[in-house]
Amino acid sequence: ATVSATGRKSTIGFGSIEEGANERDREDIQQYNIVTNLNLGKLLPPKWGINLPFNYAIGEEVITPEYDPFNQDIKLEQLLDDTTDQAQKDNIKNRAIDYTKRKSINFIGVRKERAPEQKSHVYDIENFTLSQSYNQVERHDYEIEDYEDELSNSSVNYAYTFQAKEVVPFRQ
């Protein structure tokens, strides 16, 4: 099993020494990604010969701008401070934030392994490889109020190799 995690945080005004004030970041960025890979077949009895690779990934990114996207000469914090109605404050903040969340669940290459002493047949279950994946993306920003994309893919692969028969032409 493997687990990999990454994170990133960048704040308003972040930049190198050589950059001027107008060249530096004008947004707060928070991001993380987690990816796991497991072979769930290892949890089953070895004599079953099941290969069941599982992958799960999740990631989120939140970008909060320094200035309101609709009124680009007004700082977002100043606009929020000047707004008294809490519902309107929440709406202003929610529409300004660029938010993206990705989720992925995959079973790719699921198969039953052939035992060494087992003879190969055309109809064996070991000739099939199954895959299933599910991906989901949720996002919103100042132009998109609510976006959700879901994609599910399934596949079945069949592979059988016939026994080779030697053919020698002109043999007596």
Is residue 135 classed as helix, strand or coil in its secondary structure? strand
**Is the pTM for the entire model greater than 0.75?**
yes
Q: What is the pLDDT of residue 72?
A: 85
Q: How far is CA 165 from the centre of its chain?
A: 46
Q: How far apart are CA 18 and CA 162, in angstroms?
A: 67
Q: pLDDT tens for residues 108-130?
A: 999 998 888 888 888 889 999 99
